[in-house]
A and B are shown apart, each in its own frame.
Chain A
Amino acid sequence: MTEDSKIAASFELDGKTIPFTEGQTIIQAAMAAGEYIPHLCFNPEFKPHGSCKICTVKADGRQTASCTSLAQPGMVVESDTPALNEERRALLQMLFVEGNHFCPSCEKSGNCQLQATAYELEMMSPHFDQFYPDRPLDASHHEYLLDLNRCILCSLCVRASRDVDAKNVFALAGRGIKTHLIVNAKSGRLADTDFSGDDKAAHVCPVGVIIKKRVGFSVPIGQRSFDEHPIGAAPHPDNRDD
């Protein structure tokens, strides 16, 4: 990128001027300017995946995922509107009913991006009928457990393990409603992979799937990150790992 292309381009987000450099996506530029656009499968440290659609905005009148759409000069972007928030809420409700999210007993409660985003968007009920799927829990690893009841298939662990740890411990298998997370071992057990607590993949799950054992409730419920700050105003909304 030349120096010239880096300067002085901007677009409008909900009436505010957001500067960007060429190659930045809408959400990257918004975050850099301190503006919050709800998101789940996007994490600024990783290549976007574009799957959850929570980050959907209206850019020049067209709905698009702001984590995969490049910012363009002069673009007019709407994000915090009743209509978009309504659609985001419906997506969240589907994520909740497709899994088993029993927050009162979840180690991640209060540090969970799904939950905090649902608070932010004032999701008062799951609205849809619960699926109550039968999903496994893998406690085979000595240091970490996988509670797949809470997986939202964001692929962040897949990306972290592949792109940062160079290990490929995780993958998404199946299609459509049958999509599920698998680990790279014949037995299907985390203990039989080369996964370690030092991996980046151990620290990226936005929800309560990849859980460090024996520390789950060391910080009491009610005193956790998003109990202190709503996600839209949190200093570091991603990579909660406490």
Chain B
Amino acid sequence: MNASTKPKLRVATATLAGCFGCHMSFLDIDERLFELMELVEFDRSPLTDIKHCGPCDIGIIEGGLCNAENVHVLQEFRANCRILIALGACAVNGGLPAQRNHLSLALILEEVYHAQHGLVDGFIPNDPELPLPLDKVHPIHEVVKIDYFIPGCPPSGDAIWKVLTDLLAGREPQLGHGLLHYD
């Protein structure tokens, strides 16, 4: 690293109850990743495989909360990240996983593992390694304070780039028409 450059900002990312699509969209910033890597270094992230989040400047969370582990990861990020960003529909309002919220959890588990046609001797998994599902799926701002939101399913690479470059330049992030999307 060039010693005369500014210290790099530390960025952590995680996927909770999401589909990884937002992370894929993040990679859609394509060759701008090189530019980004001049300015930031990654802490915990699916891109680094670091298992726990240390002190960071920016944390980016994809996905909502559907189980106890999601809540623990979110709390670890909030405790360590100066700025926490909700990335994508599921983090912002629960998204697709929250479509289960009008059904009872017991009914869903019963249907998926037991009752569904074609299942033989099905049983509901109960391994201590498995995080317990939450009764309802929740967006992340219902549990910790979120500083910025990037809606979209997924948000475009351009929207993610806009927010990151605004933040890196010390500007208040703003998505105008064309970048602010809920779909």
Neighbour of B142 across the interface among A122, A130, A221, A227, CB < 8 A: A130
Q: For A115, give the chain B residue with the smallest CB separation.
A: B182
- CA of A130 to CA of B86 in the docked complex: distance in angstroms? 16
Q: In the complex, which residues of chain B have a beta carbon less than 8 angstroms from the beta carbon of A227? A: 178
Q: Which residues of A contact B98 (CB under 8 A)?
A: 102, 130, 132
Q: Are B102 and A102 in contact (CB under 8 A)?
A: no
Distance in angstroms from B78 CB to nearest chain A CB is: 16
The tally of residues in A whose CB lies under 8 Å from a CB in B reads 28
| A132 in contact with B101 given A96-B93, A102-B96, A122-B180 (CB within 8 Å) | yes
Closest partner residue, chain B, to A136 (CB atom):
B102
Chain A, range 105-149, C-beta contacts under 8 Å to B: 105-106, 109-110, 115, 118-119, 122, 124-127, 129-130, 132-135
Asked whether A130 lies within 8 Å of B93 as measured between CB atoms, the reply is: yes
* Residue B151 interfacial (CB < 8 Å): yes
A127 vs B141: C-alpha distance when bound (angstroms): 7
Q: A109 to B139, alpha carbons, bound, how many Å?
A: 20
| A104–B149 touching, CB < 8 Å | no
Shortest beta-carbon distance from B136 to chain A in Å: 7
> CA–CA, A122 to B181, complex, Å?
10
CB < 8 Å: which of B96, B101, B138, B178 contacts A104? B96
B139, B174, B178, B180: the one within 8 Å of A130 (CB): B139
> Which 3 A/B pairs are nearest by Cβ-Cβ distance?
A104-B153, A103-B182, A132-B101
Could you list some 10 contacts between A and B, CB below 8 A? Answer: A100-B102, A101-B93, A105-B96, A106-B183, A110-B183, A122-B174, A125-B146, A126-B139, A132-B101, A132-B102
Interface of B toward A, CB cutoff 8 Å: 86, 89, 92-96, 98-99, 101-102, 136, 138-139, 141-142, 146, 148-149, 151, 153, 174-175, 177-178, 180-183
Known: A102-B96, A119-B180. Contact between A134 and B102, CB under 8 A?
yes
Residues of B within 8 A of A110 (CB): 183
Are B92 and A126 interface neighbours, CB within 8 A? yes
The complex places the Cα of A85 from the Cα of B138 at a distance, in Å, of 27
Q: Residue A230 at the B interface, CB < 8 A? A: yes
Provide the bound-state CA to CA distance between A127 and B138, in Å. 12
Question: How far is the CB of B90 from the nearest CB of chain A, in Å?
Answer: 10
Knowing A96-B93, A109-B182, A119-B180 touch, does A102 contact B99 (C-beta < 8 A)?
yes
Is there contact, CB below 8 Å, between B136 and A132?
A: yes
Q: Would A104 and B93 count as touching, CB distance under 8 A?
A: no
Q: Which residue from chain B places its CB closest to the CB of A124 in the assembled complex?
A: B149
**Which of B93, B98, B102, B183 has the most C-beta atoms of chain A within 10 angstroms of its own C-beta?**
B183
